[in-house]
Amino acid sequence: MSSGPVKYVRYLLFAAVGLALFFFVSRSAIPFPENIGSKLNPVSHKETHSTSSQGKAATSAEFTNGTWGSGDRVNATFVTLARNSDIWDLAKSIRSVEDRFNRDYHYDWVFLNDKEFDDNFKKITTALVSGTTHYGVIPKEHWSYPEWIDQDKAKKVREDMGQRKIIYGDSESYRHMCRYESGFFFRHPLMLNYEFYWRVEPSIELFCDISFDPFRFMKEKNKKYSFVLSLYEYFDTIPTLWDSVTKFMGNHPEHIAEGNSIDFLSDDGGTTYNKCHFWSNFEIGSLEWLRSKEYLDYFESLDRDGGFFYERWGDAPVHSIAAGLLLKKEQIHFFNEIAYYHIPFTHCPTGEQLRLDLKCHCDPNENFDWKGYSCTSRFFQINDMKKPAGYENES
Ligand SMILES: Nc1nc2c(ncn2[C@@H]2O[C@H](COP(=O)(O)OP(=O)(O)OP(=O)(O)O)[C@@H](O)[C@H]2O)c(=O)[nH]1
Ligand SMILES: [Mg+2]
């Protein structure tokens, strides 16, 4: 991992290159599976000033007056994949989550690692988490090459991507990490007893009090996946991902949900991928959905195609495309109220009164949601959601 300023510059470069690529790189297009029928027909959407079903479903008042805070806890856990060396960056994240939310709820926290956690890691995290902590080692078969992968070919790809300076392009462990987050963390024995998860990474920050229980909100509203930030993926990491998804859709039309979010993912009804994805370093989601036949068939199909190793598919587009295709639109939720930072992007809630009520300490000018490289406007548009008042001042 690189140091702070260097990393920041790297991200700026990455964002600039990504933006340029988004506009100039031609997209892959393969024949569209006909047996999906009307499920992927694009619908036209009005610009977003009507009140939506999603907008009606959750108002800001509900998140500040305790509507979702009362009652029993949900069967849920925080989950973090980490190395022993991540301990101090992770300690900051845990402190933030505890101070802003979990000290009132005491949810459990599961830590997963491809190696044994050392005593220092366990001691510090146990002291910081107000709920029960669990520590798991990842089974070897979930963090190694499947037998159908040609490892020489994978090595050449890493060397080539390294020379082309693609972020994490030369990293073998990053690829295992992305594949693990895409297809396995929810199947770890420690995760099997839980219904919902909240993913936390090292060095994140929460800027506002969370005065409601997001797990409870997810469960009672029948939400399966949620996000706070969305953006465009770097094309060179996923050149054939959509081809693989298209193949899956052709083989499993029964898994594609009626009323899905295809228009979040594609500008042409599914022929090509527009690279929009939810930023998965923050996720609150349903483990039961990830363990469903629909999701497992999807992951298995993508995994067989080898792009986790022959390209550098990230768990963010993999999860997002699944959510976009396998779930109904209304099962995906945007949490404006959860203020979040992971280098280099900030989600600072739009709406001054909300920020004051929640004791936020983020600068609204840094809010990424309505800026050009975010996909959140598109999410609002496809769901006919009204953007929060004041968004124009943050674009
Ligand atoms: N156990 C283990 N965890 C890892 C490994 N690589 C990454 N992780 C964890 O996987 C998550 C994602 O890795 P990050 O390095 O944060 O990836 P990223 O968010 O794309 O990039 P950054 O900007 O560096 O944060 C984090 O929770 C890491 O701690 C690894 O080799 N072993
Ligand atoms: Mg990270």
| Residue 237 Cβ contacting ligand 1 at under 6 Å | no
**Hey, what domains does the chain have and what are their CATH numbers?**
76-393 (3.90.550.10)
- CA geometry: angle 22, 166, 206, nearest 5 deg: 80
- Which residues neighbour 171 within 8 Å (Cβ) at sequence distance 6 or greater? 158
SS3 string, 74-121, reads: CCEEEEEECCHHHHHHHHHHHHHHHHHCHHHCCCEEEEEECCCCCHHH
Label residue 87 by pLDDT band (50, 70, 90): very high
| Residue 89 Cβ contacting ligand 1 at under 6 Å | no
With CA atoms as reference, report the closest residue to 375 among 190, 203, 229: 229
- CA-nearest residue for atom 28, ligand 1, is 82
The residue from 283, 294, 311, 337 that is catalytic is 283
Ligand nearest to the CA of 199: 1
Strands 133-137 and 108-113: parallel
Label residue 101 by pLDDT band (50, 70, 90): very high
With CA atoms as reference, report the closest residue to 177 among 153, 143, 151: 143
Of 1 and 101, more confident: 101
Q: Give the pLDDT score at 292.
A: 98
Distance (Å) from CA 234 to ligand 1 centroid:
18
Distance CA 279, CA 233 (A): 9
Is 311 noted as a catalytic residue in this protein? no
Distance (Å) from CA 218 to ligand 1 centroid:
26
**Inter-residue contact 268 to 42 (CB < 8 Å):** yes
pLDDT, tens digit (0-9, with 9 covering 90-100), for 6-55 = 555 555 555 554 444 333 333 333 444 555 556 665 443 433 333 333 44
Max CA pair span of the chain: 57
Atom of ligand 1 nearest to the CA of 7: 23
- CA-nearest residue for atom 27, ligand 1, is 201
* Residue whose token pair is 């022929």: 271
| Residue 233 Cβ contacting ligand 1 at under 6 Å | no
Average pLDDT over residues 355-366: 97
| Residue 86 Cβ contacting ligand 1 at under 6 Å | yes
Q: b/e string for 83-94 if b means 16 or more Cβ within 10 A?
A: beebbeebbebb
Full DSSP string of 342-373: ETTEEE--S-HHHHHHTT--S-GGGB-TTSTT
- CA-nearest residue for atom 26, ligand 1, is 201
Q: Give the pLDDT score at 392.
A: 86
- CA-nearest residue for atom 9, ligand 1, is 82
Q: Which two tokens stand for residue 28?
A: 């892959």
**Inter-residue contact 217 to 334 (CB < 8 Å):** no
Is the pLDDT confidence value at 345 over 80? yes
Average pLDDT over residues 336-344: 98
Q: Which of 81, 166, 231 to mutate to test ligand 1, by most ligand atoms within 8 A of the CB atom?
A: 81
CA 278 to the chain's CA centroid = 5
- Which residues neighbour 337 within 8 Å (Cβ) at sequence distance 6 or greater? 60, 63, 64, 208, 210, 212, 349, 354, 358
The overall average pLDDT reported for the chain is 89
What phi and psi, each to the nearest 5 degrees, are found at residue 253? -60, -25
**Inter-residue contact 312 to 174 (CB < 8 Å):** yes
CA 285 to the chain's CA centroid = 9
| Residue 201 Cβ contacting ligand 1 at under 6 Å | yes
With CA atoms as reference, report the closest residue to 90 among 237, 205, 247, 225: 205
With CA atoms as reference, report the closest residue to 201 among 327, 310, 345, 333: 345
Q: Give the pLDDT score at 315.
A: 98
What secondary structure letter does DSSP report for 395?
-
| Residue 314 Cβ contacting ligand 1 at under 6 Å | no
> What is the percent of the chain where pLDDT is above 90?
80
| Residue 93 Cβ contacting ligand 1 at under 6 Å | no
| Residue 281 Cβ contacting ligand 1 at under 6 Å | yes
Full DSSP string of 266-308: -SSTTSS---EEE-TTSEEEEHHHHTSHHHHHHHHHHHHHTHH
Q: Which of 167, 201, 203, 345 to mutate to test ligand 1, by most ligand atoms within 8 A of the CB atom?
A: 201
Q: Which amino acid would we find at residue 246?
A: T
Q: Which of 78, 173, 281 to mutate to test ligand 1, by most ligand atoms within 8 A of the CB atom?
A: 281
Q: What is the pTM of this model?
A: 0.88
| Residue 126 Cβ contacting ligand 1 at under 6 Å | no
